Amino acid sequence: MVLYAPTWRGESVSQVTGDGAALLDIQQRLISLIDPDQYQVLIKPHPYTYRALSPEERESGRFIPQQVDANELFSLVDILISDYSSIYLDFLITGRPVLFYLPDQETYLADRGVYFDLDELPGPVTHRLEKLAQWIKDIDSVADSYAHRYRETRQWACARDDGKASERVARAVFGGVSDGVVDDFLTRAPIRLLFYVSSFGANGVSSAFRALLSMLDRTKYDITVYGLLSDEVGRRNFDELQDVRSMPRFGAFTMTAREAKAVEYYSRYAADGPLFKLFNAEEPLRRDYRRSFGDAAFDYVIDFSGYGTLFPGTFRYGAGEAKRIIWQHNDLAADIQNRGKRKLKKYSVVNTSLTGLRDTYGAFDKVVSCGEHVMEVNREKLSTPSTYDKFTFVNNVIEVERVRALLEEEPEYKVDGHLVAAVAGPAGARRLTLVPNTPPAPESGLPFITFVTLGRLSPEKNQANLIKAFGLFLQEYPNARLYILGGGDLDRSLKGLASSLGIAELVSLPGHLRNPFMLAKHCDCFLLPSRYEGFGLVVPEMRMLRKPIILSRFDAAPSVSIPGGQYEIGFEVEDILGGLRAYAKGDVPGDYEFDVDGYNEAAYQQFEQMLESLDGSS
């Protein structure tokens, strides 16, 4: 009996390729090379692959169903053929031979990699079915030649496989008897961090978190990341986490009808307001924390989402002796009171109040803004006498290596003067869009000028006034284009505005690009006309491109400003028009110096010092 049990293929666990025909082709070709009267070849797809098969393929009887336990199946198998799957480790307990068939070795190793070097495997490796068939027919000799490596691998992989593992675990968990249980197999870093990142979607908060995570010393910090899987972008972000303990949140709060009302009240007012004693959410919030983390102990719990009160409430009541830290990524009072934004579907469900935020901050040890100047704004609007000294700041870190890698990319091709860009879509899908990149009015004799802005399409980003100002600018400088890169609820209305002004062909809104830097680096000048920002992380990112920058005077703008490194404007149409004219006249500086690595190191030290301040060690 020969069992072929390969691992899954695809871009991620949410995008698995279920190619039943390819598996059957391998089976039939192998059977044709051996004696079918002497060997039977079965296929057991990986569970992810099995679920991706068509209903007809699953019902065909040609694939071992997912419900069949592989360990029970092993008792019937004489030879296992696998690839990069860990299933061979379970099979070693039988003492029977393993062969490795890797037809896509080069691409698989480049895309996903493996845990062990191929020359460490307890059996021979090939990409040719002919070689595989030869080994099957001479299996005793093959097994003898790999006996030493097989024995070594089995010794460390199956040392405790004596049929009593569950009994030992039960005794250790419920009886406190740890004999025969390995309880020190992880070398845990001394400082335990728990981060909550909410949806972990396509936004600046996620970028800032990934950047911070990339700088954290794994020998110093044991890191757990907890968050929601609300969309495919969030799923991919979780899939790409490295060297951390990732814990996507599953399920909902477990609570009675009365507790549900209390949690709903808490999500708006936290533990304040006139009805808190009637609707006390402490018990369901504590219960939810325990549902997720059990008795796990952390030194610091950090709500990096920065906007609500509900999940901070689980930290508030459930995190025991841990130091509690909550982040602020924006001028929160302005954001909550932004009526235009709250009318949008995505934000209409947000019911956090300023009362709830103020009360929440009282339960945390540090309230951390993403920049010094937005900290001053938030402290003025949201602190109380008892929380004033808790407010501090840690500048956002830049994903330097990611930005540098994206800057190296170029469009694979151009079509009639258009750049071809990949737009991120749902379920990880991508579509290609044409972005015009040619002078619209060369006959004017004026230089071709391209402006770019980057950010979520949202009222506070002030893109509508930018479009209006650009329409007026075109009357004086018709040989110009504007690129507004980002996705959001205002996409249709902004395109409609450009169309109503007769400039739709000159204002490009391609959506949320997979690589906006590929397009931005070809533009002449970057603008950020926002009415408010938490930090404006895109500004230092654009400084990596050495772009001239036109920057509005939002409260936090000084945090991303450098001497002689930007041209400042107001928020209204005439203010923005003045900035566009200034660039055309050569008045927007572009010869500044920016040390991105030095900037990142300084920001990281702020994070470390913030943690140390909670221990009284600095």
CATH of the domain at 411: 3.40.50.2000
Mean pLDDT comparison of 188-197, 204-213, 583-592, 607-616, highest-scoring range: 583-592
CB 523 within 8 A of CB 450: yes
pLDDT digits (tens, 9 = 90+) for 140-186: 999 999 999 999 999 988 888 888 888 888 888 788 787 777 666 55
Residue 427 has a pLDDT of 43
Question: Can you tell me whether residue 335 is helix, strand or coil?
Answer: helix
What are the helix (H) ranges across 138-281?
Answer: 139-145, 147-157, 165-175, 204-215, 232-239, 257-269
Q: Please check whether residues 368 and 264 belong to one and the same domain.
A: yes
Residue 435 reports pLDDT greater than 50? yes
- pTM flag (> 0.75): no
Q: Please check whether residues 415 and 539 belong to one and the same domain.
A: yes
CB 573 within 8 A of CB 566: no
Q: Please check whether residues 276 and 327 belong to one and the same domain.
A: yes
Asked if the structure places residue 414 within a domain, the reply is yes
pLDDT digits (tens, 9 = 90+) for 438-453: 899 999 999 999 999 9
pLDDT more than 90, % of the chain? 60
Residue 556 has a pLDDT of 87
Contacts with 163 (C-beta within 8 Å, 6 or more apart), sequence order: none
Residue 291 has a pLDDT of 92
CB 199 within 8 A of CB 209: no
CB 559 within 8 A of CB 538: no
pLDDT digits (tens, 9 = 90+) for 115-148: 888 889 999 999 999 999 999 999 999 999 999 9
Domain boundary among 393, 416, 440: 393
Q: Which structure tokens are listed for 133?
A: 């068939």
Q: Rounded distance, CA 69 to CA 87, Å?
A: 12
Residue 236 has a pLDDT of 75
Asked if the structure places residue 31 within a domain, the reply is yes
Q: Please check whether residues 338 and 459 belong to one and the same domain.
A: no
Residue with the bigger pLDDT between 160 and 414: it is 160
| The Cα angle at residue 151 between residues 43 and 79, in degrees rounded to 5 | 20
Provide the pLDDT confidence category of residue 340 given band limits of 50, 70 and 90: low
DSSP 8-state assignment for residue 513: B
Asked if the structure places residue 460 within a domain, the reply is yes
Residue 455 reports pLDDT greater than 60? yes
Residue 4 has a pLDDT of 96
Q: Please check whether residues 382 and 408 belong to one and the same domain.
A: no
CB 537 within 8 A of CB 433: no
Compute, in degrees rounded to 10, the torsion defined by CA atoms 294, 298, 300, 301.
-10
- Nearest Cα to Cα of residue 377 among 329, 331, 308: 331
Asked if the structure places residue 456 within a domain, the reply is yes
Q: Rounded distance, CA 187 to CA 253, Å?
A: 33
Q: Please check whether residues 485 and 515 belong to one and the same domain.
A: yes
Residue 22 reports pLDDT greater than 70? yes
Q: Please check whether residues 367 and 410 belong to one and the same domain.
A: no
CB 492 within 8 A of CB 514: no
Contacts with 328 (C-beta within 8 Å, 6 or more apart), sequence order: 306, 367, 368, 369, 370, 374, 375, 378, 534
Q: Which structure tokens are listed for 96?
A: 């029977």
- Tally of CB atoms within 10 A around 388: 12
Provide the pLDDT confidence category of residue 392 given band limits of 50, 70 and 90: very high
Q: Please check whether residues 499 and 578 belong to one and the same domain.
A: yes
Domain boundary among 116, 139, 157: 157
Q: Please check whether residues 13 and 100 belong to one and the same domain.
A: yes
- Nearest Cα to Cα of residue 559 among 329, 316, 366: 329
CB 206 within 8 A of CB 231: no
Asked if the structure places residue 288 within a domain, the reply is yes
- What residues form DSSP beta bridges with 41? 2
Residue 550 reports pLDDT greater than 50? yes
Asked if the structure places residue 311 within a domain, the reply is yes
Asked if the structure places residue 234 within a domain, the reply is no
Residue with the bigger pLDDT between 159 and 398: it is 398
Q: Which helix (H) or strand (E) holds 355?
A: helix 354-362
Asked if the structure places residue 13 within a domain, the reply is yes
Q: Rounded distance, CA 320 to CA 203, Å?
A: 31
Range(s) of the domain holding residue 79: 2-157
Q: Please check whether residues 338 and 412 belong to one and the same domain.
A: no
Q: Which residues of 500-525 are buried (b: 16+ CB within 10 A; e: fewer)?
A: ebebeebbbbbbbbebbbbbbbbbbb
Residue 202 has a pLDDT of 67
pLDDT digits (tens, 9 = 90+) for 51-80: 889 999 989 999 999 889 998 999 999 999
Residues, the chain, total? 618
Provide the pLDDT confidence category of residue 346 given band limits of 50, 70 and 90: low
Q: Rounded distance, CA 395 to CA 606, Å?
A: 7
Residue 515 reports pLDDT greater than 70? yes
Residue 165 has a pLDDT of 85
Compute, in degrees rounded to 10, the torsion defined by CA atoms 480, 486, 488, 491.
20
- Nearest Cα to Cα of residue 326 among 341, 346, 312, 340: 312
Number of domains in the chain: 3
Domain boundary among 102, 136, 157: 157
Residue 281 reports pLDDT greater than 70? yes
CB 269 within 8 A of CB 353: yes
- Nearest Cα to Cα of residue 583 among 563, 566, 570, 571: 566
Q: Please check whether residues 586 and 455 belong to one and the same domain.
A: yes
Residue-by-residue DSSP string for 187-228: ---SEEEEEE-TT--SSHHHHHHHHHHHHS-TTTEEEEEEEE
Q: Rounded distance, CA 387 to CA 384, Å?
A: 5
Which CATH number is 10's domain given?
A: 3.40.50.12580
Q: Please check whether residues 365 and 405 belong to one and the same domain.
A: no
Give phi and psi for 457, each to the nearest 5.
-80, 95
Q: Rounded distance, CA 325 to CA 329, Å?
A: 13
